[in-house]
Structure 1
Amino acid sequence: MRSPYNLIAAVLLMLFGTAAIAADNKITPMIESVEVTDDGETVTITRGHDRNATLPEIFQKTDRGCPPFCVQPMHPIPGVNTVGELEVLDYLHRIHQGDKSIMVVDSRTPDWVMRGTIPGSVNIPWNKINTDTAGTFETPAEADTFVHILADEFGANQDPQTGEWSFEEAKTLVLFCNGIWCPQSTANLKTLVEYGYPVHKLKWYRGGMQDWVSVGLTTVKP
């Protein structure tokens, strides 16, 4: 039986083709690069070719203090799939090809995003979605922002009379933040599930930006 990794590679190969540019640092043995759409423009994601490259300074720290920067579990919520770089690339390329049912969400605050993000992702800061420990928003404005995000960004529908949400047409969301020590996207996943978002439509890139840059994948700055 083929391993899941081989299956992913085979699917990606069919999606992206076998054309190779002269390079010595592919994403996988069969994948040279992946085209995605970022802010209306095509961006080609590759791996860097500088064998002496190091992590950006912001991702070199190992001690960050817990809480809040605690190591996140592999599966934060039952039913929510944890994904890696190849799956994220697959989702991004599907969006590039016109699939509007998917959104890759950078859950970090804008000050972090300005330092670099995954091409093709959409920044929706974690604190625009996250509720307090009681499961509520502090102000009506925060609640209104959350409703706007659910409806206009994620494609959910709210019954104006009952206030109940329908997620039948909602997008599949792939959430990430800074990495395995960052709780922001985990908090958002918990809030979305509490509001009824189907777990099969939620994916979590646990490695986040730290893993993305650690393997030399392309980033962009807004």
Structure 2
Amino acid sequence: MRSSTPSIALLLACLTTPFSAIAADNMITPSLQSVDVIDHGNKVTIQRGHDRDATLPEIFQKTDRGCPPFCVQPMVAIEGVETIGELEVLGYLKRIAQGESDIMVIDSRTPDWVMRGTIPGSVNVPWNKISRDTAGTFETPSEADTFDHILEDEFGADRNPDTGAWDFSDAKTLVLFCNGIWCPQSTANLRNLVEIGYPTYKLKWYRGGMQDWVSVGLTTVTP
């Protein structure tokens, strides 16, 4: 009888203890508490918030946005480009932190939005830095140079100096996002990349973007 007393006491304690005290940690999934990533050379731990009364940041509380340009995006942005969610983004960020240099997570928003908070480990490549007109050209040579620089130095593509054709054999896998399902900036980046021949299997789209990221309380950083 004596040996059973502690077990009964422990059971009674569990039954009378609030659930929030038992499950003190706000897990990402039942088996995942956090993910360590590298953000501009610094380790950042991505986890969910622990404030049970937390709400969305004010900038993401607005529901009535004008369309165009803030139209609801399709589930498939471009045929062949995989649409992914938060757990897949975390998986790519973890792989980058573990040393895989052939992956980039890209925030396609303009810097003014990025300064309000972004996903740790992401790199800002604004949509208008690689945007082209309907003819596939740029207004100025400097815009074309910027585009080429991004493709070569950041994305790992090679350009044949004789033919001008792009080779994406060693190009990185790019995971793009923006503000969410009402934001067209990452889809604009995807469209321009595919139009110049970037392989669709090397492009991933986090459709939910920052709106979904903050709605589940995941860590953000400001540059």
Q: TM-score, with normalisation over the residues of structure 2?
A: 0.89
Distance in 2 (alpha carbons) for counterparts of 1:136 and 1:23: 55
Question: Which residue number corresponds to residue 105 of structure 1?
Answer: 106
Whether the aligned pair in 1 keeps the contact of 2:25 and 2:33 (CA below 8 Å) is no
**Which residue of structure 2 aligns with residue 49 of structure 1?**
50
Output the TM-score relative to the length of structure 1: 0.89
Q: Deviations over 1:118-172 (max 9, x none)?
A: 0000001110011122222111110100000000000000001100000000000
Could you tell me the percent identity over the aligned residues? 79
What runs of 5+ residues in structure 1 fail to find an aligned partner?
1-21
Regions of 4+ moved over 2 Å: none
* Whole-angstrom CA distance in 2 between matches of 1:65 and 1:208: 18
Q: Does 1:219 align with 2:217?
A: no
Number of residue pairs the alignment of both structures matches? 201
Q: 2:89 maps to which residue?
A: 88
The amino acid across from 1:101 in the alignment is D
- The residue matched to 2:162 in structure 1 has which SS? coil
| Alignment partners' CA distance in 2, 1:148 and 1:26 | 40
Cα distance, 1:24 vs. partner? 2.7
- Cα-to-partner distance string for 1:8-58 (whole Å, 9 max, x where unaligned): xxxxxxxxxxxxxx7431000000000000010110000001111000000
Gap runs ≥5 in structure 2: 1-22
Q: Say whether 1:179 aligns with 2:186.
A: no
**CA offset digits 1:70-101 (Å, max 9, x no partner):** 00000011000000000000000000000001
